[in-house]
Homo-oligomer: A and B are copies of this chain.
Amino acid sequence: MRLGLDIGGTKIDAVALDADDAVLARVRIPTGFGPAAVLGNAQSAAIQAADAAGVGPASFASLGIGIPGLVDATGGLVRHAVNLGVDELDLGPELASRLGLPVFVENDVNAASLGAYHLLGLDTSAAYLNLGTGLAAGFVLGGELWRGARGTAGEIGHIPVDPAGEICACGQRGCLETVASGGWLARKWGSAAPFPVLDVFDRADDGDARAIALRDELVGGAAAAVRILVLTVDVDVVVIGGGLSNLGARLLDRVATALDDQARDSQFLASLELSSRVRLVPLDQPIAAIGAALAGRPAGESIRI
C-alpha cells in the first residue's frame, strides 16, 4: 500500500492506494502558503488519507509527493515553488521523519506523467504534455521517469518557435508557451470570464472571429508541442493533460486535425503518424496523486491499476 500527494497551488490531493494500486481513499485539503503551512498540511493530508483508508501511515510502504518547483528527487529538496510561497523546503526528509516512512518527492509534471502512463496502461514510451497556465512535458521512457541529467527535462514551453513572437516571461521571444498556454490565451483574450480558455472555445463555436483565431493559435501551438516531442524523443504516445485537458474532445480532436493538416504538406510528417499518437489524460482520476504514489515504487516492479 502506498500514499500519494499532489500539492497544488490551492489544494493538496491525497490518495491511498491498496496493494493492487487501486484507490482506497482520497482526501482534499487546502495547501496553505509558505513552507511551514505546506509542510504541516502535507503531513495532515497523508494522515487523513491513511485514516480514510482505515489504517495508520505506518501501514504504507511509501509516500510519494508531486509538487511544483525545482525538485531534487534524490534528496527530497524543493526550491522555487513560487505559487506555494516556498523558496526552499526540505520536504522529503522532514515528512519522512514526521511520518516514519520513506518519502519520494517529484516535480508535479513528472508525477502526473507517471500517473497518466500507468492509468492509460501504456508500456512503451510516452510524453505527458501539460497544457495549463504554462506548458511543460514529462517523459516515461522504458517504463521509468526520465528527469534529465539535471532534473529539468521537458521544459519545451521555452523553445522559441517564432522570431517575431511575443516576449516570454523567461526573457526569450516567441516561446512555445506564448502561443500554447492557458495563461497567454487568457491574457490575449482579455475577458473577465472565470474560465477564459473555455470562454474562447465557446465564443469560437459561436463564430467570433477573434476567438477562432486565438483558439486556432492555441491548437496549432499544442500540435507544435506534439511535433517537437516526437521529432526529438520519438515517444510512442503523447498524453495531453493539465487544466486545458478538461476541454476533452473539443481540444483533442482539433489538435489531431491540426496534426493531420500539417502532415498533408509533408510526407515526412505523415510517416510519423502524429495524430494517432495523441491521447487525452483520464479526466476522472487524480492522476498526479496516483503518479506520486507510484513514484516510490522500485524500478521494474509490475504495476496493476
A contact set with B: CB distance below 8 Å: 124-125, 137, 139, 141, 146-156, 158-164, 170-172, 224, 227-236, 262, 265-269, 272
Contacts and interface: CB of A to CB of B under 8 A. Distances in A.
Nearest to A176: B231
A42 B154 CA distance: 40
A268 B233 CA distance: 22
A146 to B, nearest CB: 7
B232 A229 contact: yes
B233 A272 contact: no
B152 A124 contact: no
Contact of A172 (B139, B148, B172, B266): B266
A156 B231 contact: yes
B125 A158 contact: no
A279 to B, nearest CB: 14
Q: How many copies does the complex hold?
A: 2
A267 B161 contact: no
A143 to B, nearest CB: 12
Contacts of A171: 265-269
A266 B170 contact: yes
Nearest to A265: B171
Given A141-B141, A155-B231, A150 B236 contact: yes
Interface of A, secondary structure class, is: loop
B149 A125 contact: yes
B227 A150 contact: no
Contacts of A268: 158, 170-172
A108 B83 CA distance: 46
Given A160-B161, A268-B158, A149 B235 contact: yes
A129 to B, nearest CB: 12
Contacts of A155: 231-232, 234
A124 B153 contact: no
A257 to B, nearest CB: 17
B262 A153 contact: no
Given A146-B141, A164-B164, A172-B265, A152 B272 contact: yes
24 contacts: A124-B149, A139-B233, A141-B141, A141-B146, A149-B234, A149-B235, A149-B236, A152-B230, A152-B234, A153-B232, A154-B232, A155-B234, A156-B231, A158-B231, A160-B161, A164-B164, A170-B266, A170-B267, A170-B269, A171-B265, A171-B266, A171-B269, A172-B269, A232-B233
A152 B234 CA distance: 6
Contacts of A227: 159-160
A232 B171 CA distance: 18
B236 A232 contact: no
Contact of A148 (B137, B233, B267): B233
Given A172-B266, A269-B171, A160 B224 contact: yes
